[in-house]
Each structure stands twice: as C-alpha cells, then as structure tokens.
Amino acid sequence: MSPAFIAAEMALFAAQAKEVDVIITTALIPNKPAPKLVLAEHVASMKP
C-alpha cells in the first residue's frame, strides 16, 4: 500500500473514531507484527 493510501485510511479511522462507542479490529499478516490500525489519539477522541 502506498503512503498516500495509508494516510487516507488513518484519517478515515480518526474521523470514524469520534462517532463510535466501540472499535473492533482484526488484522494479521503471517510472520509479521500485527499492523497498528487504531492509535492512542483515535481512542482518546472516542465517546466516553
């Protein structure tokens, strides 16, 4: 994936995190560390 795609994806996640109560993610790439899809700032922006 290109850096532009990843940046757009992270911006979308950030916008959506503000509107939801729960985020459930699954991502696994065999023999590699799991990607970080939800950052601390996304969680901080979620509804209390």
Is residue 38 within 8 A of residue 23, CB to CB? The reply is yes
In this prediction, residue 36 carries a pLDDT of 85
Q: What is the pTM of this model?
A: 0.69
In this prediction, residue 34 carries a pLDDT of 86
CA 20, CA 5: separation in Å to the nearest integer? 23
DSSP letters spanning 5-44: HHHHHHHHHHHHHTT-S--------TTSPPP--S-HHHHH
In this prediction, residue 43 carries a pLDDT of 92
Domains in the chain: boundaries: 3-44
User: Tens digits of per-residue pLDDT, 4-48?
Assistant: 999 999 999 999 999 999 999 888 889 999 888 899 999 999 988
Is residue 21 within 8 A of residue 43, CB to CB? The reply is no
In this prediction, residue 27 carries a pLDDT of 85
